[in-house]
A and B are shown apart, each in its own frame.
Chain A
């Protein structure tokens, strides 16, 4: 994992503490039952706070997997 992915993994662990680090890259709304609307808001708020990002309403709807979130953060922080 690069630095951005490590920081994202910390946010994931804060919201989904029982998901092992190795499984995080495979997680999505579809694969993780506890990833509901409340968890989605909490997770993206935590990631927004970690990277000082203001995540738009539309992006809140679309960032529904680890992979999408990593791509999004890397593109927003210019580290893609």
Chain B
């Protein structure tokens, strides 16, 4: 993005509704960084205008405190060397002599400790995208540029330790210096003229890249949810139907190490909650034997479902997507055969189809990076490790339900826990709000800063719903956010994971909400989307008129009349 493009975009949104403010915290004059930050954020939030807030020139700690005192719940924090010691910047004449080095080191260490304390406090109320110093250090060393000095490495180590500590704090997302190095070459980052004249040290190009990275951290792209993998010459090398179970390989010894890399990647992804499935043109029995090999680097249990047969792959993909109960646009299909990829892509245009090219290690490396970027997310939750198991048990429940007579749900031994505690450190409800499509009252995605701001409101009511039964725990599977308005509660977000469908958890939720809040009416900020038919069906079932003019409502009297017996044991944690 150029500076002129950024300015045009900002001007075009001047009269739009304003979202929550974003605070840019830095010690330098924010100038073009502020412009690019605003423009990139506007690109992420179409239809909105965003108010940008900044602090005072030269006072990074003071600006962190100002951000904490402000109503901003979204913060971009950019640190530079002269925030740690002015002698490391262009605008100081404090001296670069060897004699000053020890003092500079001490100052930097102390300043980083102080900044860490302030940032940690800020993280309790805001989501923070944090960038460490990205300018080259001033020429302080006694060596030629390519030879590092102990002094310079020491400063970098202090910054590295600071960033490492910050990355471990919930709500703080650290911009990876390695990513920045590839996106913005170090040699073209600094603009000494602007630094001296205006106190803004970055080239426009670097400011653009830096702002783009910070915005991606603050408003991350929704990750994909499921990966469907082919077997022969993809998960392993060789055609298992021809070479047999022991003939397929994934090792250096057999020149098939790229498959081992993929398997390791899949094991990592499964642990992070990515759904994995197999779509293979093979006999089911030999597939099961192959997946049961003990030396496979990703466990058999990581895959559900495993579908093998001789029909078109597009049909298999269709069956898997239905088993997962997620949208095709959340799915990636991986195969070595371009014809299969084309066939699947043609039948499922929303699926991302990727080619695995085992004879091209560079392409495999790029593919692994692509998978990281497609499925990566800011944080991993306890629920992520339960996802595949709960989808598998969900399928078992569906089968048992079909076979059983009477009140099947009552036999599950279900326990619903509804927490009304407004805990800004628990990011799981926000993750649910921003990735759930089907049982979703309006499909509106909520930036983390907005969510934090709403939680802080005294009138806000928030509920996080967890569930477990004899088939296992599902973890936190639903979230609701609303605001009290007299005797009403206006529900602005209500989502439930598809893994929790058909268990009447939504009935329990409304029953609990009426009882705990004392409200006599619920109003829903409802919007029909092309994906939230399950929510609409539930509204129809309990008599919420979703097509009526104005916001649909549900009164306590009406709900009490239509509510059937609730099958599960419930516990509630008050706010």
Q: Please give the residue numbers on chain A whose beta carbons come within 8 Å of chain B beta carbons, in ascending order.
A: 10-11, 13-15, 17, 37-38, 41-42, 45-46, 49-50, 56-57, 60
Contacts and interface: CB of A to CB of B under 8 A. Distances in A.
A42 to B, nearest CB: 7
* Nearest 6 Cβ contacts at the A-B interface: A14-B7, A17-B11, A41-B198, A46-B4, A49-B3, A46-B3
B252 interface: no
Central interface residue in A10, A14, A15, A17, by most chain B CB within 10 Å: A14
B interface secondary structure, majority = helix
B197 A60 contact: yes
Interface string B1-38: 01110011001001000000000000001011001000
B200 interface: yes
B88 interface: no
B205 to A, nearest CB: 10
Nearest to A7: B4
B194 interface: yes
A14 B29 CA distance: 20
A17 B31 contact: no
Contacts of A15: 7
Contacts of A37: 198
Given A17-B14, A41-B198, A46 B7 contact: yes
Given A42-B35, A50-B4, 16 more contacts: A10-B4, A13-B11, A14-B4, A14-B8, A15-B7, A38-B29, A38-B31, A41-B31, A41-B200, A42-B3, A42-B7, A42-B32, A46-B7, A49-B204, A57-B197, A60-B197
Contacts of A17: 11, 14
29 contacts: A10-B4, A11-B4, A13-B11, A14-B4, A17-B11, A17-B14, A38-B29, A38-B31, A41-B31, A41-B194, A41-B197, A41-B198, A42-B3, A42-B7, A42-B31, A42-B32, A42-B35, A45-B3, A45-B194, A46-B3, A46-B4, A46-B7, A49-B2, A49-B3, A49-B204, A50-B4, A57-B193, A57-B197, A60-B197
Contacts of A41: 31, 194, 197-198, 200
Interface residues of B, number: 18
Contacts of A11: 4
A50 B6 CA distance: 13
A61 B4 CA distance: 21
B196 interface: yes
B51 to A, nearest CB: 16
Contacts of B32: 42, 45
Interface of B: 2-4, 7-8, 11, 14, 29, 31-32, 35, 193-194, 196-198, 200, 204
Contacts of A50: 4
A57 B4 contact: no
A10 B3 CA distance: 12
B381 to A, nearest CB: 42
A49 to B, nearest CB: 5
Contacts of B7: 14-15, 42, 46
Contacts of B14: 17
Nearest to B14: A17
B204 A45 contact: yes
Contacts of A13: 11
Contacts of B4: 10-11, 14, 46, 49-50
B226 to A, nearest CB: 43
A13 to B, nearest CB: 8
Nearest to A50: B4
A53 to B, nearest CB: 13
Contacts of B35: 42
B485 to A, nearest CB: 38
Nearest to A54: B193
Nearest to A61: B197
Contacts of B193: 56-57
Contacts of B3: 42, 45-46, 49
B189 to A, nearest CB: 16
Contacts of B29: 38
Contacts of B198: 37, 41
A42 B36 CA distance: 12
A50 B198 CA distance: 20
Contacts of B11: 13-14, 17
A46 B198 CA distance: 15
